[in-house]
Chains A and B, each alone.
Chain A
């Protein structure tokens, strides 16, 4: 094989931070130092910087891709960027610092293994940094990195670093953040980004790149509770494969093994795994996030939207759902409202029974008088669904614990939900 053999692993991370904290510069530097910026892209950025009369190369132009973003000098929407080092490939969900922050943060963080929050060393923690940490913890992003940026502007003060570190650790005790790393950096000069800085002899932790390359994400998946949402039924009906009937889908949790006794939900029929097909090969077992096709020993009725689980460890079908919902559209979410809901491969309709409280993502205060959720607000909501959802708490499984809400008139995705429990 050539320079890479495709065998390295993948880390998805979401970036967050306020407008002027140097996020674009940091991303620009990660891309630049990993040789992911090409000469023609850099030339275009240099040319635009000159045209605009900047006295410097504005690396944020690399990340603001749309005409209207460049016109306004702001980032409108989540963008996805890519870089690789010899050990890992990275997908960055680059979420904008301002306008519609919650909605975009939730979008970017929904698929992230790691969240990167940037703060300006001169200003310390802001409301924005706290909010981002809260959102990352709500979205169960298992790893968090707090980058204290612009250390060059505070004379590389260890005291400043320690103060922000302590303040954040104190705040984080209220949240669910299993793994936290606090790194002093200068994105502009590259200190502790890829190479260890001589300016921070008191800092003994990893550089940002080293941490991104080595943080252990393999154990973040649930390999105990087997969950296989059936996505598509494969029935070739050809002469060669006349009786073939396979259930295709992506493993959402646990390990599925040939010979396992399984239950099909919601029907409750049981059978055994006859074979697991990975294209034209049979495999003995499958685990997340593999896309496979499963064949069962018995001719049970299975269709899209069903779920295959282990007999003694199956989710309970429920139509009453208790969830945290992030609302993403101007028209507020109100009780009695009806929406379409998509959960794993199931779709149905749902009605809002009750909005229990609205969460203030700055103070974590629960406002029980709220009554509705506006754009970018998050609250605890009770839903009643037309079809039973085969769900787990989001804290156990980010795939079987999440859903989206769709406005039936416009077809637009208007809400993101994280299930607390179903009953």
Chain B
């Protein structure tokens, strides 16, 4: 019996996976020194899983790098270490505290650590001579990201110029660089938040426990529920109380809010995400609220 076209059909999740793996391999083949930027959040964990698949049974042929804000959730760090140990990859930590100590960035008491990430990251890229840095950015996250290429060219200052982007045709990626420049690579550009959750569910991927519903002492700030922690002192009028919450994104503990939720399994999270009426960033990320073009401006400076 001959097979028909219908027998050779990949589901959309398999198509996305195949496309991402193709991108990982392309970069590993063409760039001298790639690195995978790892925040410990769900997107970068999916990226690690895809990288694992792309080179199996060999190990991932590049290190992973985390920008340590000093304000990361302990649960996220724990998951990071589990992944690093299981995969046997080299972990590079670019620490903001260290960058401040070395005078690379200045802590003026006003600038958020999120903002200091950019200079710390660029410094670490330069220091290590990385020519390509994988990021877990998705185009559905934010309107400036919707415009970004899979291969996003950065000049010697690490800057993104949206008007000078290279056209990206078929799956033929152009990785040409001049000395000092680097490329940001976004293998999961075409994934949506829901795709990420579907994939985490399908693959049984370990993610930080804070994504699942739990009890947490939180207080309300700017319409978001923030974690009570000495790292983020409460202001006048703010009151902490215990609530049943979970996180939709993992970032700086002082800027990342949580949502009230009883979703304690991946399936429940998927149902919740599918029904959500507010984007993950809109719901829980203080860093995007500075201005309408906050993300675009940070990206131009070199943020991922």
Contacts and interface: CB of A to CB of B under 8 A. Distances in A.
A66 interface: yes
B96 to A, nearest CB: 27
Contacts of A403: 172
B270 interface: yes
B169 interface: yes
Contacts of B56: 234, 277, 279-280, 293
Contacts, number: 227
A221 B54 CA distance: 24
A66 B144 contact: yes
Contacts of A188: none
Given A291-B18, A340-B176, A4 B170 contact: no
A6 B25 contact: no
Interface in B126-177: 139-140, 142-147, 162-163, 165-172, 174, 176-177
B58 A236 contact: yes
Interface string A270-310: 00000001011000000111110100000000001000000
Interface stretch (A155-163, A190-198, A199-207, A410-418): A410-418
B57 A236 contact: yes
B296 A66 contact: yes
Contacts of A293: 56
B161 to A, nearest CB: 11
Contact of A76 (B6, B57, B163, B170): B163
B278 A39 contact: yes
Interface in B45-73: 52-59
Contacts of A24: none
A48 B292 contact: yes
B174 A404 contact: yes
B282 A41 contact: yes
Contacts of A221: 5, 8
A44 interface: yes
Contact of A44 (B5, B168, B292): B292
Contact of A6 (B11, B189, B296): B11
Nearest to B7: A287
A290 B198 contact: no
Interface in A6-58: 6-10, 38-41, 44, 48
Interface string A240-258: 1100100011100001000
A106 interface: yes
A218 B4 CA distance: 10
B26 A231 contact: yes
B270 A404 contact: no
B1 interface: no
Contact of A218 (B5, B26, B177): B5
A411 B178 CA distance: 8
A246 B56 CA distance: 10
Nearest to A216: B5
Contact of A402 (B9, B172, B292): B172
B241 interface: no
Given A231-B22, A234-B55, A241-B58, A7 B11 contact: yes
A248 B54 contact: yes
Nearest to B300: A67
B8 A250 contact: no
Given A1-B201, A2-B267, A240-B57, A9 B12 contact: yes
6 contacts: A76-B147, A110-B170, A221-B8, A240-B57, A291-B17, A412-B166
Given A2-B267, A67-B297, A413-B174, 5 more contacts: A6-B11, A6-B198, A76-B162, A277-B56, A402-B169
Interface of A: 1-10, 38-41, 44, 48, 62-68, 76-82, 84, 88-89, 91, 103-104, 106-107, 110-111, 218-219, 221, 223, 231-232, 234-238, 240-241, 244, 248-250, 255, 277, 279-280, 287-291, 293, 304, 328, 340, 342-343, 345, 398-399, 402-404, 406, 411-413, 416
List 4 A-B pairs, minimum CB-CB distance, nearest first: A2-B270, A40-B282, A65-B143, A411-B176
